[in-house]
A = this chain, B = another copy of it.
Amino acid sequence: MNKIEYKGPESKDAFSFRHYDKNRVVGGKTMGEQLRFAMSWWHTVNASGTDMFGGDTMDKTFGLSGLDMYKAKADFAFDFMQKLGIDFYCFHDVDVAPEGETLAESVKNLEIMTDYLLEKQKQTGIRPLWVTANMFGAKKFMAGAATSPDADVFAIAAGKVKAGIDAAVKLGAKGYVFWGGREGYDTLLNTDVALELDNLGRFMKMARDYGRSHGFDGDFYIEPKPKEPTKHQYDFDAATCANFLRANGLEKDFKLNIEANHATLAGHTFQHELRMAAVNGLFGSIDANQGDTLLGWDTDQFPTNVYDTTFCMYEVIKAGGFTNGGLNFDAKARRQSNTLDDTLLSYIAGMDAFALGLIKAHRIIEDGRVDAFIKERYSSYEKGIGRRIVSGEETLESLAEYAASLRNVEVPSGRQEYLEAVVNDILFSGEE
């Protein structure tokens, strides 16, 4: 096994890191500690290049089937992570173990496979960043899981989440993710939204209660996404999820898992969603990928835009860095990037882009021009009438009186273009 090594920015070796130097200290912590990269099992170990108009372009069966195939995939996955120096992985129940005819059989398969994974974890020190259950792929979930109109489906979903939480505890995962792929609707003509949202709340509370009483002390995450596959998903964006969590009294136990591509599908920048999560006290973890804002579906591309990775890491640093979360590459090599080399090159591209983003975000903060500008811009709230507004000493009437005769109020320039130039100066200055 050849590890991918750091060879510096000038390296022309495609199979080397140019920016990701795991043990390099940036801002008081190593890159590895700050970035906490995770491999997504589904895209990396299972996805075969299909899209809605075409079949497989890659074969990841290892010529096997059944549990043997799943074990071969696990072997591959751990080799792959070691090659790249990745310490975490993320998975759905069905990614790592075959589904059975019944929930009981599926749970049994999952237990067999988590035994196998645990063994590999012990050998490597790698562990899950988070665990989740796939409650959107099977026919029975066609109308949702916790929001299914069929109560039996709700019950099966509950069973899957229980098994998922058990797996998380067993494997030492500090995160459990809910992505409600079909928790939403295709048409309001057939949907009782109020009941569905109430059921979703009930489901989350059951999961929280089970987890907290069975040794899960990590974070529950909701992963916002506005649509696709459904017309509308209830977890539209960070603010929508915050509202749901508040309405159900779940904001203490849940945080958000923000995905770049889901942000843009909701009409937001990646940075916006991270900021909204932080402002609502819900910053948790990140699905690192990138979309194409000129396309209307979730392309899950490997993140290579360094503006985006820089602004992402800027928000992460401002939010205090990751605790239980990390950067999960919920990204797939393109359908035409159909070789194992491509998968490797894709991870290298993504890891380097985030390493560069970390370096540059850190430098933006060190440089200080952006933060100083913001501080100065709002300085009127640190004194006089502004300070009294913030401290709650003013009323509508007192302010009306204060303002009655004000003239020539001049709001200072927002200086957007200058600030963009400052960012460019730092991004393209070259010094690492």
Q: Mark A306-341, 1 if CB is under 8 A from B, else 0.
A: 110001000000000000000000000111111101
Q: Which of A26-34, A72-80, A115-123, A137-145 lines the interface with chain B?
A: A137-145
A61: min CB distance to chain B, Å: 15
Residue among A102, A199, A240 having the largest count of chain B Cβ atoms under 10 Å? A240
Report A151-184 CB contacts with B as 1/0, cut-off 8 Å: 1111110110111010000000000000001100
Q: Give the residue name and chain of the B residue nearest to A11 (CB).
A: B425
**Residue of A229, A352, A420 with most chain B CB atoms under a 10 A cut-off:** A420
- Return chain B residues, CB-CB under 8 Å to A356: 424, 428
A349 interface residue, CB < 8 Å from B? yes
Q: How far is the CB of A106 from chain B (nearest CB, A)?
A: 10
Interface residues of A in 336-394 (CB under 8 A from B): 336-339, 341-342, 345-346, 348-350, 352-353, 356, 370, 373-374, 377-378, 380-381, 384-386, 389-390, 392, 394
Asked if A399 CB lies within 8 Å of chain B CBs, one says: yes
Judging by beta carbons under 8 Å apart, are B102 and A189 in contact? no
**Residues 92-108 of A contacting B (Cβ, < 8 Å):** 101-104, 107
Chain B residues with CB below 8 A from A353, complex form: 421, 424
Chain B residues with Cβ below 8 Å from A136 are 53-54
Give the shortest distance, in Å, between A200 (CB) and chain B (any CB).
Answer: 12
Stretch at the interface among A63-71, A124-132, A403-411: A403-411
Are A141 and B226 touching (Cβ within 8 A)?
no
Q: Is the CB of B378 within 8 A of A149?
A: yes
Residues of B within 8 A of A395 (CB): 206, 209-210
Contact assessment for A333 and B417 in the assembled complex, using a CB-CB cutoff below 8 Å: yes
Least CB distance from A10 to B in Å reads 7
A192 — which chain B residues lie within 8 A by C-beta?
A: 374, 377-378
On whether A336 and B416 interact (CB within 8 A), knowing A403-B155, A421-B14, the answer reads: yes
Residue total for A at the interface (Cβ-Cβ under 8 A):
167
A102 in contact with B334 (CB, 8 Å): no
A56 part of interface (Cβ distance < 8 Å): yes
A253 at the interface (CB under 8 A from B): no
Which residues of chain A from 258 to 274 have a CB within 8 Å of any chain B CB?
264-269, 271-272
**A143, B54: Cβ atoms under 8 Å?**
no
Q: What CA separation (Å) do A384 and B402 show in the bound complex?
A: 64
In the complex, what residue of chain B is closest to A102 when comparing beta carbons?
B405
Which parts of A396-432 form the interface with B (CB within 8 Å)?
396-397, 399-400, 402-407, 409-421, 423-425, 427-432
Q: State the CA gap A32–B98 with chains docked (Å).
A: 51
Judge if A4 is at the interface, Cβ distance under 8 Å. no
Q: Give A380's nearest chain B residue, CB to CB.
A: B151
Q: Does A187 contact B (CB under 8 A)?
A: yes
Residues of chain B lying within 8 A (CB to CB) of residue A1: none
Contact A197 B18 (CB under 8 A): no
**Chain B minimum-CB-distance residue to A246:** B246
- Do A337 and B414 touch across chains, with their CB atoms under 8 A apart? yes
Q: Given the complex of chains A and B, what is the CA–CA distance between A154 and B378 in angstroms?
A: 12
Q: Does residue A292 face the partner (Cβ distance < 8 Å to B)?
A: yes
- Within 8 Å by CB of A186, from B152, B246, B307, B336, lies B336
A404 with B149: CB separation less than 8 A: no
A188: which B residues are within 8 A, CB to CB? 269, 271-272, 275, 311
* Interface assignment of A193: CB less than 8 Å from any CB of chain B: yes
CA distance in complex: A366, B102 (Å): 43
Q: What's the Cα separation between A252 and B294 when bound, in Å?
A: 32
Q: A348 to B191: give the CA distance in the assembly, Å.
A: 23
Q: List 5 A-B contacts (CB under 8 A).
A: A51-B229, A57-B142, A104-B404, A188-B271, A293-B294
The 3 tightest CB contacts between A and B, nearest first, are A296-B296, A430-B430, A151-B386
A202-B389, A336-B416 given; 15 more Cβ-contact pairs under 8 Å: A10-B429, A55-B137, A104-B404, A140-B409, A140-B410, A151-B381, A152-B409, A188-B271, A189-B419, A192-B374, A242-B243, A242-B247, A336-B411, A338-B413, A345-B415
